[in-house]
Amino acid sequence: MNYDRALLKRFVDVPPSGIRRFFDIVSTMKDAISLGVGEPDFNTQWKVNDAAIYSLRQGRTHYTANAGLMELREAVSGYLNERFGVQYDPKTEIFLTVGASEGIDLALRVLVDAGDEVLIPDPSYVSYAPGVIFAGGRPVPIRTYEEDDFRLTAAALRDAITPRTKALILPYPNNPTGAVMERADLRALADVLKDTNIVVISDEIYAELTYSGHKHVSFASIDGMKERTITLNGFSKAFAMTGWRMGYACAPRELLSVMLKVHQYTILCAPTAGQYAALEALRSGYDSGYAYVREMVRVYDQRRRIMLDAFRKMGLSCFEPRGAFYTFPCIRSTGLSSDEFAQRLLMEQKVACVPGGAFGESGEGFVRCSYATATDKVVEAMRRMGEFVASVRR
Amino acid sequence: MIHDLELSILEILFNDARTTPQQIAVMTGHSEPEVTAVIRSLEAQKIICRYSALIDWDRVKTDQFEALIEVRVTPQREQGFDAIAEQIYRFDEVNSVYLMSGAYDLMVTVRADSLKSLALFVAEKLSTLENVLSTATHFVLKKYKFEGVIFNEHKTDERLVVSP
């Protein structure tokens, strides 16, 4: 059997995630504190689990409609309108996906053909570029800079557009930088996009997690942009439901119906028990004024401040992230590369972080530290990191 | 704003009373003197009554008995339930007293070193008080969860140690 002839080169050639190597080392280490975790440390609310268990007791174990339970789509529609002021018709403009990740894959598959370009702010979440390659396209990174608070600027966007540009991925609040986009920033992008045929894939999975007075602005809420925007979101970060794999895709009917067709033929529907869990998360969220979400944000914010204060004392520059649950300190002043920094910090002080280079070339010189970890562990990790940085400088 | 800060400080101290004012200042984005002043004021107002540890006593002493006692009383003119509540909470054996809605009036929790002393307290001290109509005593057999803390829970972080 010649596997090389059997397998497509473009799939084989995508390197495994740079995060994997650290995973292997950390998992064998005792008393290591991991700041490398990209999911909430909070547990799913028990009433949400209970709603799924109840649905199983009721024997609700069949397929749902391809797009998902109508009452859940209605709840999502109401939620997006209430929280972010965007209007999507639950009948034709929303469907439930297996995590927001499925939405990314579907959007790229229906938009991207061989040789098409997809613009991706860099650094960004590790899955976008491989997703574009899997779809046959060419990922085009757009460098973002600490000086711009890692925002995507209209000028950089304009410079990156070519006749082959099919889509722009807009991943804000951003993983790994914690950057957010203000309404004015998005309006400036809209000005560049309005005379093009570029579709915006807006990954808003961290929309609920914002700090220091910032409130997430949905790109579809910018005048004239809804028609070209695919809004992706889900329950993983907002309701601490990562393992449920529940997300949703929203777009004008013309775009969404084609994505739904792929979903219908390949996935059929999101898991039924997960849909009942998600419904409970939205309903009880609405009833309580999203108290659970607010409580998580309050605690994340405290840890974010602990980290920023610690970096300042260590003499590491770090722009103030106002979204997601990551800090992205610059470690160039230590004279180490991000890889060396992360590797040595792990070996010498048993603290794991992720080298910025894993998120794209412009992440080099930075490391990603997640504060989705118990407050006392964050404090201890910062103490150890402080010792490490001092020892490197000595 | 000050009110928000008060609430944040109370929540942080409630979770871990050992958190230093310096640490709280960092966590809330206020100055340390400001935080210290607010804590002093909360202490002076007796909003913060004391700093104590939450202990799973079941695993330390086995000879302590705790009971929840439902007490029905006759409220008194002009003083309502307060006077009778005071008569009850003055006893050292009494751990807490709540005024309740529903089938009885006061929920009293009592702690004692033996079953007998607890029973005697109810029989001789509590039920003989003037205005106490009746009592119903329920012994606590096991505490599973208290103040939001699940006792004897072995929490392990089951997340992948590094994830994108």
ipTM of this predicted structure: 0.84
* pLDDT, position A95: 98
For chain A, which residues make up each domain, given as ranges? 3-43+291-393, 46-287
User: Could you read off the pLDDT of A223-255 as tens digits, one per residue?
Assistant: 999 999 999 999 999 999 999 999 999 999 999
Q: Which residues of A touch B1 (CB under 8 A)?
A: none
Of all residues in chain B, the one with the smallest CA distance to A127 is B164
Is the Cβ–Cβ distance between A29 and A152 less than 8 Å? Answer: no
Per the prediction, chain A carries an average pLDDT of 96
Question: How much is the average pLDDT of B53-63?
Answer: 84
Question: How much is the average pLDDT of A307-320?
Answer: 97
Question: How much is the average pLDDT of A179-198?
Answer: 98
Q: Convert B96-129 into a string of H (helix), E (strand) and C (coil).
A: EEEECCCCCCEEEEEEECCHHHHHHHHHHHHCCC
% chain A with pLDDT above 70: 100
* pLDDT, position A394: 86
Q: What is the nearest CA distance from B103 to chain A, expressed in angstroms?
A: 29
Counting other chains too, the contacts that A88-92 makes at CB distance below 8 Å and 24 or more residues apart are: A88/A220, A88/A231, A88/A250, A89/A253, A92/A253, A92/A256, A92/A257
* pLDDT, position A32: 92
Q: Which residues of B touch A34 (CB under 8 A)?
A: 161-162
**Partner-chain residue, chosen from B29, B161, B162, that has the shortest CB–CB distance to A305:** B29
* pLDDT, position B64: 82
Q: What is the nearest CA distance from A382 to chain B, expressed in angstroms?
A: 13
Pairing of strands A229-234, A246-250: antiparallel
CA distance A340 to A344: 6
Q: Which residues of B touch A38 (CB under 8 A)?
A: 163-164
* pLDDT, position A185: 98
**Partner-chain residue, chosen from A306, A354, A376, that has the shortest CB–CB distance to B162:** A354
Give span(s): CATH 1.10.10.10, chain B: 2-44
User: Could you read off the pLDDT of B3-21 as tens digits, one per residue?
Assistant: 889 999 999 999 999 999 9
Q: What is the nearest CA distance from B4 to chain A, expressed in angstroms?
A: 11
- A38 close contact with B: CB closer than 8 A: yes
Among the listed residues A297, A302, A355, the one whose alpha carbon sits nearest the alpha carbon of residue A323: A297
The reply to whether CATH 3.90.1150.10 applies to domain A3-43+291-393 is yes
User: Could you read off the pLDDT of A58-105 as tens digits, one per residue?
Assistant: 999 999 999 999 999 999 999 999 999 999 999 999 999 999 999 999
- B164 close contact with A: CB closer than 8 A: yes
Residue B63 has pLDDT above 80, yes or no: no
Of all residues in chain A, the one with the smallest CA distance to B16 is A376
Distance of CA A243 to the CA centre of its chain: 15
Q: Which option is the CATH number for A46-287: 3.40.640.10, 3.20.20.70, 3.40.50.720, 3.90.1150.10? A: 3.40.640.10
Q: Given pLDDT bands bounded at 50, 70 and 90, which one contains residue B110?
A: very high
The reply to whether CATH 3.20.20.140 applies to domain B57-143 is no
- B8 close contact with A: CB closer than 8 A: yes
- B49 close contact with A: CB closer than 8 A: no
Is the Cβ–Cβ distance between A308 and A295 less than 8 Å? Answer: no
Residue A197 has pLDDT above 80, yes or no: yes
Give span(s): CATH 3.30.70.920, chain B: 57-143
* pLDDT, position B2: 60
CA distance A140 to A167: 10
Domain B2-44: assigned CATH number: 1.10.10.10
Phi, psi angle pair for B70, to nearest 5°: -85, 125
* pLDDT, position A81: 98
Cβ A22–B162 below 8 Å, yes or no? yes
* pLDDT, position A46: 96
User: Could you read off the pLDDT of A17-37 as tens digits, one per residue?
Assistant: 777 777 888 888 888 999 999
Among the listed residues A393, A365, A369, the one whose alpha carbon sits nearest the alpha carbon of residue A381: A369
